[in-house]
Chains A and B, each alone.
Chain A
Amino acid sequence: MLQRVFPVALILAVAGFVVAPFLIAGAPYESTMGLVQKIFYYHAPSGMMMFLGAFVSGTASAIYLMKGRPGADRLAAGAAELTVLFGLIVLTTGPLWARKAWGVWWQWDARLTSSLLVWLMFTSYLLVRKYGGPGSDKLAAAVALFGMANVPFVYISVNVWRTLHPKTTVIPSLVPGMRGPFWFATATFLCLFLALLAVRVRLGERQAQLDDLYRAVDDDALEEE
């Protein structure tokens, strides 16, 4: 299914990223923040993709643990990489904006902290996969599953601890001129997400096939001896 989506998603994403700057430039300026506010069109959609990736990875990991399907594991691994990638975009564009809007690079604010924590959980997922040795795919699946289950706890605990970030309720309250470009940017990021996920899962499949072939060759060599 993902493979059929790939060409469409890729073309839409490329076209979207070509058109998006014009739409964003045409959108009205925010009255108090001015030009810096425009980073929001990249920042917020990346944040959404990051949480989407976490959700996909956690769900696919649960399926892998239950059913043991290798395909679910490849999907989980691809989605986890995207979580970390889009998380990096969020954690780079956030401080750039914060420096202008709040006057500091980093604030221990609720949403910043929880984004950082989700990013950390999925980075640790990738670390286990890379350095855990044999059998680490199951271990990593547990990390992703626990990471997903942890999102509400992180969200609640960090929210009670601190709040400074503009609430997500800012999105429905956008002026009409900003709403169009924002949802356009979100759709573009979603296409990019799907295209990258499809290509990553495909790569995983090919790697698995190659490993099987190597194993078959080794077995043949043993038999001949």
Chain B
Amino acid sequence: MFARTAWLVFRKDVTVEVRSRETIATTLFFALSAVLVFAFALVKEGRVVADAAAGILWIAIAFSATLALGRTFERERYGDTLRALMLAPADRPAIYVGKLAGVFALVVAAEMALVPLVAFLFGAALLQRPVLLTGLLLAGTLGFLAVGTLFAAMLARARSRDVLLPVLLYPVTIPVIIAGVRGTVALASPAPDEAMALFWLTLLLFFDVVFVTLALWTFEPLMTD
């Protein structure tokens, strides 16, 4: 029952997205614009500041993921379907898992375009250790969105939600950004430091476990009036 509810919520979000392509198109374009802004700030006399690519990649991911989170719940609020979801006789945590899976799929899809783009534009050797990099990206995205989905869901009914989401989300997810950026830097250096990347990957996995558990546990009391 739990898995089925989560699957239905996930499938609904993916179907809406596949038909409209609204969030993926705007998110990707936003990520591209953010990358360009950083290019102007960090490229000096035609050369990129050392290790900048990893930072640019993760900032673009964090920014566009925030945008995607806002959009997912804005759509529910606009159609007044969030209340319907909450009224449905289903496990609240299952709804959370479905929502999380939906945004996760979307952001991972955006990353598939973003990583090669950053590697190409900044001449960064991001793909030297593809498996570890994928691990970092997946674990980092999951940690960021685990907190983000919960906060965005709670904020869906709050005033000034657009500005509050990043205000709440970024301080809490700083460990994800540090681990993601440092891990990526370790992998993209001329002599990839796999031990370092593995350390950061482990930290990200711990972060995921702690915060997914906390979110599952708090989603029910938080979404009940």
Residues of A within 8 A of B (CB): 65-66, 68, 117, 120-121, 124, 127-128, 131-133, 135-136, 138-139, 142-143, 145-147, 149-150, 153-154, 156-158, 160-161
- B150 at the binding interface (Cβ < 8 Å): yes
User: Does the CB pair B158–A150 fall under 8 Å?
Assistant: no
For the complex formed, measure the closest distance between the CB of B224 and the CB atoms of chain A, giving whole angstroms.
Answer: 9
Q: Provide the bound-state CA to CA distance between A225 and B222, in Å.
A: 37
Instruction: Point out the residue from A127, A138, A143, A154 that lies within 8 Å of B221, measured CB to CB.
Output: A138
Choose the segment among B8-16, B96-104, B166-174 that binds chain A (4+ C-beta atoms closer than 8 Å). Answer: B166-174
User: Does the CB pair B171–A153 fall under 8 Å?
Assistant: no
User: Does the CB pair B225–A135 fall under 8 Å?
Assistant: yes
Q: Provide the bound-state CA to CA distance between A132 and B158, in Å.
A: 5
User: Does the CB pair B155–A121 fall under 8 Å?
Assistant: no
Instruction: Point out the residue from B211, B214, B222 that lies within 8 Å of A138, measured CB to CB.
Output: B222
Known contacts A117-B174, A121-B171; A138 and B160 CB within 8 A of each other: no
Known contacts A124-B167, A156-B203, A160-B199; A143 and B157 CB within 8 A of each other: no
Q: Kindly identify, within residues 166 to 204 of chain B, every residue whose CB is under 8 Å from any CB belonging to chain A.
A: 167-168, 171-172, 174-175, 178-179, 182, 199, 203
Across the interface, which residues of B come within 8 angstroms of A142, CB to CB? 150-151, 154, 218, 222
4 more contacts with CB within 8 A, not counting A127-B164, A139-B151, A146-B211, are A120-B171, A128-B158, A138-B154, A150-B172
Q: Provide the bound-state CA to CA distance between A127 and B161, in Å.
A: 12
| A-B CB contacts (within 8 Å), total count | 83
Q: Kindly identify, within residues 132 to 154 of chain B, every residue whose CB is under 8 Å from any CB belonging to chain A.
A: 147, 150-151, 154
Across the interface, which residues of A come within 8 angstroms of B222, CB to CB? 65, 138-139, 142
Beta-carbon nearest neighbor of A162 in chain B: B178
Across the interface, which residues of B come within 8 angstroms of A160, CB to CB? 182, 199
Closest 10 CB pairs of A and B: A133-B159, A153-B175, A120-B171, A157-B178, A157-B175, A121-B171, A132-B158, A139-B154, A65-B221, A124-B168
User: Does the CB pair A149–B171 fall under 8 Å?
Assistant: no
For the complex formed, measure the closest distance between the CB of A117 and the CB atoms of chain B, giving whole angstroms.
Answer: 6
User: Does the CB pair B218–A65 fall under 8 Å?
Assistant: yes
Query: Interface of chain A, helix or strand or loop or mixed?
Result: helix
Query: Interface of chain B, helix or strand or loop or mixed?
Result: helix
Q: Provide the bound-state CA to CA distance between A156 and B202, in Å.
A: 12
User: Does the CB pair A161–B182 fall under 8 Å?
Assistant: yes
For the complex formed, measure the closest distance between the CB of A73 and the CB atoms of chain B, giving whole angstroms.
Answer: 12
Q: Provide the bound-state CA to CA distance between A196 and B113, in Å.
A: 52
Across the interface, which residues of B come within 8 angstroms of A139, CB to CB? 151, 154-155, 158, 222
Instruction: Point out the residue from A68, A143, A157, A158 that lies within 8 Å of B172, measured CB to CB.
Output: A143
Q: Provide the bound-state CA to CA distance between A117 and B172, in Å.
A: 8
- B207 at the binding interface (Cβ < 8 Å): yes
- B210 at the binding interface (Cβ < 8 Å): yes
Beta-carbon nearest neighbor of A64 in chain B: B221
For the complex formed, measure the closest distance between the CB of B148 and the CB atoms of chain A, giving whole angstroms.
Answer: 11
User: Does the CB pair A66–B168 fall under 8 Å?
Assistant: no
Q: Provide the bound-state CA to CA distance between A174 and B214, in Å.
A: 40
Known contacts A128-B164, A131-B164; A147 and B172 CB within 8 A of each other: yes
Q: Provide the bound-state CA to CA distance between A136 and B151, in Å.
A: 11
Q: Provide the bound-state CA to CA distance between A146 and B171, in Å.
A: 10
User: Does the CB pair B168–A143 fall under 8 Å?
Assistant: yes
Beta-carbon nearest neighbor of B155 in chain A: A139
Q: List 21 A-B contacts (CB under 8 A).
A: A65-B222, A68-B221, A117-B174, A121-B172, A124-B171, A128-B158, A131-B164, A133-B158, A133-B160, A135-B225, A138-B154, A138-B221, A139-B151, A145-B214, A146-B147, A146-B211, A147-B172, A149-B210, A149-B214, A150-B172, A153-B210
